[in-house]
Amino acid sequence: MSQQTSSFSKDENRDRFVAFSFAASDLLLEVTIDQKISFSAGKVESLTGQTATKLNNKDIYDLFTSNDTNMIYALLRGAQKSGRSGPIMVSIKNSKTNKAYKAMMMGMCLPDNDHIFLTLNATPSFLEFLASSDYQDSKLLDEKQFEASAIKAFQDAKKSSKSLDVTFIETEKIDEYKKSMEHEDAVNFTDNLQMILKQDSYNGNTASQVDENRYCVIHGEEISSDEIEEKIQNLINKTNSNRGVFDPNNIGVKSKTVEADMEVLSEREARRAMIYTINQIEAEGLDSIQDDLSKSFDDYLQENADKITSLKRLIGQQDFKLNFQPIIYIPSEEICHYEALVRFDSENSPFELITFGEDVGIAPDIDMAILKQAIGYLQKNLKSAPDLKIAVNISGQSIQSEDFFNKMLDLLDDTECSPKNLMFEITESTNIGDLEKVNDYLQRLRGRKFEICLDDFGAGAASFQYLNSLDIDCVKIDGKYVRDAVVSPRDEAMVRNLVRMCQDLNITTVAEMVETEEQLKYLIDIGVDKAQGWLFGKPNSKAEYTKR
């Protein structure tokens, strides 16, 4: 390994080691605030064609192709603002061989140090893995990813009492402009535009493309929409000066910033208001939207007032029914218990109605109504089936509510419901903020001998954080991974290692969506404890099991 000598302290070299190891990369570069290389380590000479000594004080951009300049600049700025930025794909120029080596670059800053540490991974097998995966390089988030990142951003902001803004950008002729370019030029322009948006977004990961000409960026209040507009216009001017085809003033960049007041809104309300605003923009343009998300959420509630009233009526009058799907022991296929699944007599799916209920804050009412009906079903059938056991879903929104929790304890006391017949599944449909408080609630239930299961493990971004913070009895593995484990090495590895980890933690595992004998055999082989799926029985109005 080629390495430049350094007069830095032991602590600083330790920091360098941490920065280098955080991505297990081939090359580490330390860059000063004026974007000069001050330190290099790793495969310096084989990748760059120069020794570490010769790289000292060299401009960082000299090591890469000119097409990478704007993306690298954005990555450096992003790292300075949020502490971490990237990854982006770059091309390292080798001054000896004139070859260009593709590499994945990430940047980070350390506390009390104004230098930026860049790690580059040029290992061919690593790049092949990225090419075969869902990696998006500098691409903006898709709708689903953006929603998840938005909730996380709003949640972080609420915890740290920060203010966030949401800026919507409209570029009237940007798509037409790109179509006038050569393919490579259009790709480079798109990458640079997207990096500008990512660079200014919260934590470098809350920017999305709404449609061909519109974008959405969640960012700190210190960044103005005028700044973002100016950067986009400068990129257009620079690109146009090289082409001379379009009048950059005719492309038309405009924006509008909406305030996200996290003192007024919950994270889920802010997310719903943002999605509502995006839909408004798509339908009517920037001029149609409100100045803050709380007003947009009020508009959303007003527009859905009839739907809210109808759902409240359904819940209040218990105008729904429960179906029951068996969960079986593996490999004996004896029934362990049933999951209670709500069914509304409406054209909307139960999932859509429950999600809508969470959006408008009535998830605790829905969960309480389902719990009451499930206990009522038990009371009617325990005489003929004393070992009957039902699992009831409790949303992340409900379990965080002290009022809901106290009402649930009162209901359990009043009905004298036994833990022999009832257990709870905590769903990830709403992010859990105060994990310590929720864990206290769960331990009070477990102290009464009620089992707690973490539902849809792997479907949400916070699954492992929940597993680390919440003491539970059971994990239900999300059906997507179970379904794909027999055909995807990545999903297979995830499921197998999750099962092994749960075994070490003495946590029971349940596999969802088991539909084939091949899946069942795989689950038996890796030691999953229980299973649920159409292979063993579809949801039924009665908690009974039909042999295959």
Tokens matching residue 32: 């000063």
pLDDT at residue 392 in the model:
97
Picking from 190, 257, 252, 264, the residue whose alpha carbon sits closest to that of residue 221 is 257
| Cβ atoms of residues 415 and 390 within 8 Å | no
Q: What is the pLDDT of residue 36?
A: 94
21 has pLDDT over 90 = no
Rounded to the nearest 5 degrees, what angle is found at the Cα of 97, between the Cα atoms of 93 and 100?
30
pLDDT at 124: 63
Higher-confidence residue of 141 and 475: namely 475
* Residues whose CB falls within 8 Å of the CB of residue 330, separated by 6 or more in sequence, listed in order: 520, 523, 524, 528, 529, 530, 531
pLDDT value for 249: 65
DSSP state of 233: H
Q: For residue 465, what pLDDT is reported?
A: 76
The domain over range 2-132 is classified in CATH as 3.30.450.20? yes
Q: Looking at 19-28, 327-336, 381-390, 487-496, which range is the least confident one? A: 19-28
Residues 188, 195: Cα–Cα separation, whole Å: 11
Query: Does residue 376 have a pLDDT over 90?
Result: yes
Confidence of residue 501 (pLDDT cuts 50, 70, 90): confident
> pLDDT tens digit string along 304-314?
898 889 889 88
Nearest residue to 468 (alpha-carbon basis) of 443, 495, 502? 502
Per-residue CA distances from 470 to 397, 435, 438, 439, 505 (Å) = 16, 7, 8, 5, 12
Sort residue 158 into left (φ over 0), alpha (ψ -120 to 50) or beta: alpha
Ranges of each domain in the chain: 2-132, 143-303, 306-532
Which architecture characterizes domain 143-303 according to CATH? 2-Layer Sandwich (3.30)
Of 242-246, 270-274, 347-351, 482-486, the one with minimum mean pLDDT is 242-246
Highest mean pLDDT: which range of 132-141, 256-265, 428-437:
256-265
How many residues comprise the chain? 548
pLDDT confidence of residue 238: 76
Mean pLDDT, all residues of the chain: 83
* Model confidence at 328: pLDDT above 90: yes
The model's pTM: 0.63
Dmax over CA atoms of the chain, in Å, equals 84
User: Does the pLDDT value for residue 548 go beyond 70?
Assistant: no
Residues 23-75: tens digit of each pLDDT? 457 888 899 989 999 988 888 999 999 998 999 999 999 999 887 887 788 78
At residue 189, what are phi and psi to the nearest 5 degrees? -60, -45
The confidence score (pLDDT) of residue 432 equals 76
Distance CA 243, CA 235 (A): 13
pLDDT by residue (tens digit) across 124-149?
655 544 444 444 445 788 787 888 78
Task: Output the pLDDT for position 247.
Answer: 66
Considering only residues 437 and 149, tell me which one the structure prediction assigns the higher pLDDT: 437
Q: Is the pLDDT of residue 324 over 90?
A: yes
306-532 is classed CATH 3.30.300.30: no
Residue 91, judged by CB atoms within 10 A of its CB (0-12, 13-18, 19+), counts as middle
Q: Of all helices (H) and strands (E), which one includes residue 373?
A: helix 363-381
Band of pLDDT at residue 18, cut at 50, 70 and 90:
very low
CA-based radius of gyration for the chain = 27
**Coarse DSSP helix, strand, coil percentages of the chain, rounded to the nearest 5 percent:** 45, 20, 30
